[in-house]
Chains A and B, each alone.
Chain A
Amino acid sequence: GIQVEQSPPDLILQEGANSTLRCNFSDSVNNLQWFHQNPWGQLINLFYIPSGTKQNGRLSATTVATERYSLLYISSSQTTDSGVYFCAAPSGTYKYIFGTGTRLKVLA
């Protein structure tokens, strides 16, 4: 099945800094999702992005399906951005595989 790897595993930023999170996947996919898991454990969907670029406020994502990677950009980070960021890709017809996540801590 598909392998999903995320980097970096951990990231510490000062408030206001920008960051780029990466998701590599081992096989071609027809969709790719980004999620943020807050400190209380709730997974919040950020982007559904099979290809191209999408923006939502300070966050944007780009998926280059032909090169099997996706990037999540966080600009002007805030302490509320802290948590774990996951990407997920389909494996087979129904199953989704999640990466191991990037743990982000934004310091005030």
Chain B
Amino acid sequence: DTGVSQDPRHKITKRGQNVTFRCDPISEHNRLYWYRQTLGQGPEFLTYFQNEAQLEKSRLLSDRFSAERPKGSFSTLEIQRTEQGDSAMYLCASKRGEETQYFGPGTRLLVL
């Protein structure tokens, strides 16, 4: 059990650029979540995968955000045409069945 990993850990980009983040869940976990966290707030749900199927997506997620989990293993989160308001910590979590979620270290995004 190597834990949930995320890459990159930090990303600085200019407004209008596209960015992609990767999450590798714990190997036997079939459920994967993406969250966004801004300063002073709790994590905010973005999307949920069960195996390769994206079963729920937050209404707060604009069309500039897309997530995939092509083979039911790792997942990617892409943000197109980044805006300064996208600056946040992006967190990935995974779990097996009804157990608790295990979080990765997060990717901290700064949009200039």
**Given A43-B91, A96-B33, A86 and B56 contact (CB-CB distance below 8 Å):** no
Query: Contacting chain B: which of A14-22, A66-74, A75-83, A98-106?
Result: A98-106
| B-side interface residues, number (CB < 8 Å) | 25
Chain B nearest CB from A69 CB (Å) reads 17
**Given A31-B98, A41-B89, A43-B91, A98 and B56 contact (CB-CB distance below 8 Å):** no
Beta-carbon nearest neighbor of B91 in chain A: A43
Residues B33-57 near A (CB distance < 8 A):
33, 35, 40-45, 48, 50, 55-56
Which residues in A have their C-beta under 8 angstroms from that of B55? 93-94
Interface bits A32-57 vs B (CB < 8 Å: 1, else 0): 01010000111111011000000000
